């Protein structure tokens, strides 16, 4: 996954979260142009909007909230432009002390408050967005895609390319093939 954003979002901890149990809400937008994920490039014409609550748990800052956006991409079958609504959950856990006891946690499950007493939530926002993106975006599950021979959109136009290719192959059976004798064989439709 690659993404293109122009700035990091650093949220100050003090004075809003200096005491255990204190919470503070942030509502803002996240500057994001595009994300490459799976087989697709997702474009954001408008910045994703987030609303998060930060809470001082005593040893860390807990981040919880939502992020919303509309991502544009192309259907991987027919190449039509589609819009993907994003309604993601933002989560994070930032330890106040760099020497905190972090056993039983994976590296991507936590962060640290930096030396300027701020937390950077970019990775948390990216994670919430990408979790909502399909790895293989489709305009709909029944998309027929493009004809591999003439390129027409099979959702909008019917073509006879597959039939023509099958007829051509049927007429081009190798006479030296051991299966060539089956070409004219009439199979019974009886069970």
Q: What does pLDDT average to over the chain? A: 87
pLDDT confidence bin for 185, thresholds 50/70/90: confident
- Residue 127 makes CB contacts below 8 A (sequence gap 6+) with 91, 108
- Cross-strand partners of 109: none
Closest by alpha carbon to 36, among 122, 111, 109, 137?
137
Cβ(153)–Cβ(146) under 8 Å? Answer: yes
pLDDT score of 49: 97
> pLDDT by residue (tens digit) across 145-168?
999 888 899 999 988 887 777 766
CA atoms within 13 A on the CB side of 24: 13
pLDDT score of 189: 66
> pLDDT by residue (tens digit) across 85-125?
999 999 999 999 887 777 777 777 788 999 899 999 999 99
Residue 170, SS3? helix
């Amino acid at each position: 996954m690659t993404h293109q954003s122009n700035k990091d979002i650093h949220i100050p901890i003090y004075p809003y979260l200096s005491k255990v149990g204190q919470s503070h809400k942030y509502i803002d937008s996240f500057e994001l142009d595009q994300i490459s994920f799976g087989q697709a490039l997702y474009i954001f014409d408008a910045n994703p909007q987030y609303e998060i609550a930060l809470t001082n748990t005593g040893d860390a800052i807990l981040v919880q909230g939502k992020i919303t956006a509309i991502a544009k991409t192309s259907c991987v079958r027919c190449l039509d432009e589609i819009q993907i609504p994003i309604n993601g959950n933002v989560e994070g856990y930032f330890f106040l002390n760099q020497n905190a006891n972090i056993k039983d946690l994976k590296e991507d499950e936590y962060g640290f408050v930096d030396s300027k007493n701020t937390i950077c939530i970019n990775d948390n926002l990216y994670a919430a967005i990408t979790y909502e993106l399909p790895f293989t975006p489709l305009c709909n599950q029944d998309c027929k895609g493009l004809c591999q021979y003439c390129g027409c959109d099979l959702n909008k136009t019917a073509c006879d390319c597959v039939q023509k290719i099958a007829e051509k192959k049927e007429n081009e059976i190798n006479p030296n093939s051991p299966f060539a004798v089956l070409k004219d064989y009439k199979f019974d439709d009886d069970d």
